[in-house]
Amino acid sequence: MDRSQYTNIAKAWEFTETHARELESNALSDARIAADESGQLQGSAAQARLLGMLVRMTGASSVIVVGTGSLVETLHIAESLDGKGLLTAVDSTAQGIMLIRKAFASLQDSTDTTLRAVNAPARIFLPRLNANDYDLIVVAGDADNYAATFAQASRLLRDRGVIVFTDALALNSEHGGMLNAADRSAKAVAMRELLAAVESDEQFDSTLTPDGTGLLIAVKR
């Protein structure tokens, strides 16, 4: 591709992100603002919509979201479950889980989805869950979440279950993330190691996409 094509791709990302923001419900928009103001900066709106679409495409009814302050992604997934199933949100920060529980409370009268919010590190909580019980796992936030969740993924997911890693390019790093080979921040290092681990795991088929700040999607064989 030439320079003009790369420029158009950047403009396309901006367009889709703006469009996704415009489509957010008032509840989602308010939740995003509240989270941002509390210091829990939220991820790409287009990425969150894609995660919601994955719920519908896969027919998922049992979903885990592991994320540090991933409120918008969690709410999109909750809406996409269409009032059924089980959604488990795992956040290691007290502030993040408080926002999620508040958002869940506002949904209780309008959904029959079972909403479970857990304030614990992924490496401690996930091993307690039943095996082969989940259709979709979404991972976001701190570097520690990724390897700890992938270590449990093959056990937790049903056959053809999907795990999605957000910010897979570590673009939230101030040093450029995976786009900069010299970036040795915790997130960039973790994402390089994760990519190698997922792509070499014979239990999964995977692909890396540039959606949002990078999505690594893997399907259990």
Q: Where are the domains of the chain?
A: 3-220
- Model confidence pLDDT, tens digit, residues 83-140: 899 999 999 988 888 888 888 887 777 788 998 999 999 999 999 999 999 999 999 9
- Whether pTM exceeds 0.85: yes
Superfamily of domain 3-220: Vaccinia Virus protein VP39 (3.40.50.150)
Mind spelling out the 3-state secondary structure of the chain? CCHHHHHHHHHHHHHHHHHHHHHCCHHHHHHHHHHHHCCCCCCCHHHHHHHHHHHHHHCCCEEEEECCCCHHHHHHHHHHCCCCCEEEEEECCHHHHHHHHHHHHHHCCCCCCEEEEEECCHHHHHHHCCCCCEEEEEECCCCHHHHHHHHHHHHHEEEEEEEEECCCCCCCCCCCHHHCCCCCCHHHHHHHHHHHHHHHCCCEEEEEECCCCCEEEEEEC
- Model confidence pLDDT, tens digit, residues 124-182: 999 999 999 999 999 998 999 999 999 999 999 999 999 999 999 998 777 889 999 99
